[in-house]
């Protein structure tokens, strides 16, 4: 046995020098066999792409994550990550993104999952919390429209709408209502002028008298709804109360009521007043002659029709004018 062979085998001491920069992220600074890893290779294109450490030779930490990506992904990554100057800031940004991100549920997700999304996007706590902020110059809503607006609250809530969305819808709808209202006003004015010409042509010199009868008739039959009838519109924006057919119909009804002496009413008021004046005149003339209702010369033939106009169908007898 040679001396060399007899000598006990010895191993070289392990390299305890500090690891290369950044290698601690992958291996903790020491390889599995106790030796420090080699420095990460640098790509020939000078971009610092590597498969080992987090920093390249120029201290660019981002190149570590782009290793192995195709050109498009690598370009997008470098553009997007350039705002971060260290892996620590990148990690912080990622955490903040996850905190504030809104994850859209799948189509088959439960309603509760969508509720979380809607709430984070600013949906009110309940349908009653929606505000309908109409502009001041928008025409007032009709009762039916107010009712429809209230029913809309639940629809908005189920769809996840927030107040900004509702404000946008109300602004748009208000502008449409304003345009429609203005066009209706123009149409109504044009239609009214046309309708007056039609009625004047049909009635001639009786136009003013018939208009009075029409107004009296409408007030009498419409009662407390008179104001509603005055503002009621047809599909073209014109007013029902101005339509020649409606005006002529109500005027005809009023004329028939005015000729009906069965009962005193607003329709025959002027006729009764005129009849009463004639009655007073005839009676005074007869009394001045020394006559009375029982006298043979009392003007019954002239007074009876007048009595009927003033007192309706109630029969008149001698002496009743004094009672």
Tracing tokens 């971009």 back to the chain, one arrives at 47
The Cα-based distances of 250 to 13, 166, 219, 222, 246 in angstroms read: 121, 45, 10, 11, 6
Residue 161 is encoded by which pair of tokens? 């709408």
Residue 233 pairs in a beta bridge with 239
Tell me what pLDDT residue 283 has: 81
Per-residue pLDDT, 259: 64
What is the pLDDT, as a whole number, of residue 197? 92
C-alpha triplet 235, 219, 191: angle, nearest 5°: 30
Residue 39: what pLDDT?
41
Cβ–Cβ < 8 Å for 124, 162: yes
Of the candidates 253, 263, 265, which has an alpha carbon nearest to the alpha carbon of residue 308? Answer: 263
Is residue 22 within 8 A of residue 57, CB to CB? The reply is no
Q: Distances from the Cα of 12 to the Cαs of 20, 225, 304, in angstroms?
A: 21, 112, 151
In whole angstroms, what is the distance from residue 161 CA to residue 158 CA?
8
pLDDT of residue 310: 59
pLDDT for the residue numbered 41: 42
Six token digits for residue 113: 């999952």
Work out the angle at residue 242's Cα, subtended by the Cα atoms of residues 241 and 244, and round it to the nearest 5 degrees: 110
Which residue intervals of 28-86 are DSSP H helices?
62-66, 71-81
Token pair 């009655």 is found at: 279
Closest CA to 51 of 38, 62, 37, 40: 40
Q: What is the pLDDT of residues 167-207, one digit of tens each?
A: 999 999 999 999 988 887 887 788 888 999 999 999 999 89
Cβ burial of 62 (10 Å; 0-12, 13-18, 19+) is: buried
Token output for 141 = 């809503």
At residue 203, the pLDDT reads 92
| Residues of the chain where predicted confidence (pLDDT) is lower than 70 | 1-59, 100-103, 258-275, 308-323
Residue 139's Cβ-count burial label (10 Å; 0-12, 13-18, 19+) is middle
Helix ranges (H only) for 101-222 are 111-120, 143-158, 163-203, 207-222
Alpha-carbon span 36 to 15, nearest angstrom = 7
Are 263 and 311 contacting, i.e. CB atoms less than 8 angstroms apart? no
pLDDT digits (tens, 9 = 90+) for 274-304: 667 777 878 888 888 888 888 888 888 887 7
Cβ within 8 Å of residue 184, ≥6 positions away:
233, 237
Contact 121, 160 (CB under 8 A): yes
């Amino acid at each position: 046995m040679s001396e060399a062979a007899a000598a006990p085998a010895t191993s070289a001491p392990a390299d305890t020098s500090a690891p290369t920069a950044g290698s601690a992220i992958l291996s903790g600074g020491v390889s599995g066999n106790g030796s420090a890893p080699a420095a990460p290779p640098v790509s020939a294109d000078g971009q610092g792409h590597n498969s080992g450490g987090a920093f390249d030779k120029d201290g660019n930490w981002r190149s570590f994550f782009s290793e192995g990506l195709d050109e498009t992904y690598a370009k997008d990554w470098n553009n997007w990550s350039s705002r971060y100057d260290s892996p620590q800031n990148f990690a912080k940004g990622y955490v903040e993104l996850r905190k504030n991100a809104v994850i859209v549920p799948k189509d088959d997700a439960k309603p509760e999952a969508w509720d979380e999304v809607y709430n984070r996007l600013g949906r009110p706590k309940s349908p009653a919390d929606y505000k309908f902020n109409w502009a001041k110059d928008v025409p007032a809503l009709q009762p039916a429209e107010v009712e429809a607006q209230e029913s809309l609250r639940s629809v908005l809530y189920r769809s996840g709408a927030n107040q900004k969305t509702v404000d946008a819808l109300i602004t748009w709808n208000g502008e449409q209502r304003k345009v429609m209202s203005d066009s209706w006003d123009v149409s109504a004015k044009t239609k009214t002028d046309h309708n007056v010409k039609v009625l004047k042509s049909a009635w001639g010199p009786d136009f003013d008298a018939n208009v009075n009868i029409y107004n009296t008739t409408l007030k009498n039959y419409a009662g407390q709804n008179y104001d509603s009838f005055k503002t009621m519109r047809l599909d073209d924006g014109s007013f029902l109360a101005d339509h020649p057919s409606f005006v002529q119909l109500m005027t005809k009804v009023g004329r028939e009521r005015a000729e009906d002496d069965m009962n005193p009413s607003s329709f025959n008021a002027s006729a009764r007043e005129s009849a009463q004046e004639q009655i007073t005149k005839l009676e005074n003339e007869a009394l001045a002659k020394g006559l009375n209702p029982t006298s043979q010369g009392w003007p019954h033939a002239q007074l009876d029709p007048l009595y009927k106009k003033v007192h309706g169908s109630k029969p008149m007898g001698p002496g009743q004018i004094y009672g």
